Amino acid sequence: MQKNHHLAKSIADVSWNQFITITESKAEEAGSRVILVNPGNTSQQRSRCGMIVKKALSDRVHSRPHCGLAMDRDQNAGVQHYEIGAATSKGVASRDAPCERRGSSHT
């Protein structure tokens, strides 16, 4: 599979879509819903002020005196995902629109 990049990507896409389908089903059973968030730049964008600061993958911490933010870049991305999802569920415009699932109109 690793020798055929296109096959590996197709398998990963199918697996990801199955994961989303199962998660949406479980959320519906629990009376909740899943909101897909566009992950673009969330590991580089500061959750406090929204400024994008390009970083190498090896740079694991946001630490900027400009806005006082200092946290792990994955935690920073998680905060943004939460805020975007919460704003979307309340019908409030957010910085990033939710993702559309491939082959579906669910958001």
Q: What pLDDT, on the 0 to 100 scale, is given for residue 2?
A: 58
Are 98 and 36 in contact, with CB atoms under 8 Å apart? Answer: yes
Tens-place pLDDT, residues 28-43: 999 998 988 888 888 7
Residue spans of the chain under pLDDT 70 = 1-2, 65, 92-107
Burial of 1 (0-12, 13-18, 19+ CB in 10 A): exposed
Please name the helix (run of DSSP H) or strand (run of DSSP E) that holds residue 64, with its range, or none.
strand 61-64
How far apart (Å, rounded) are the C-alpha atoms in residues 107 and 101? 7
Prediction pTM value: 0.62
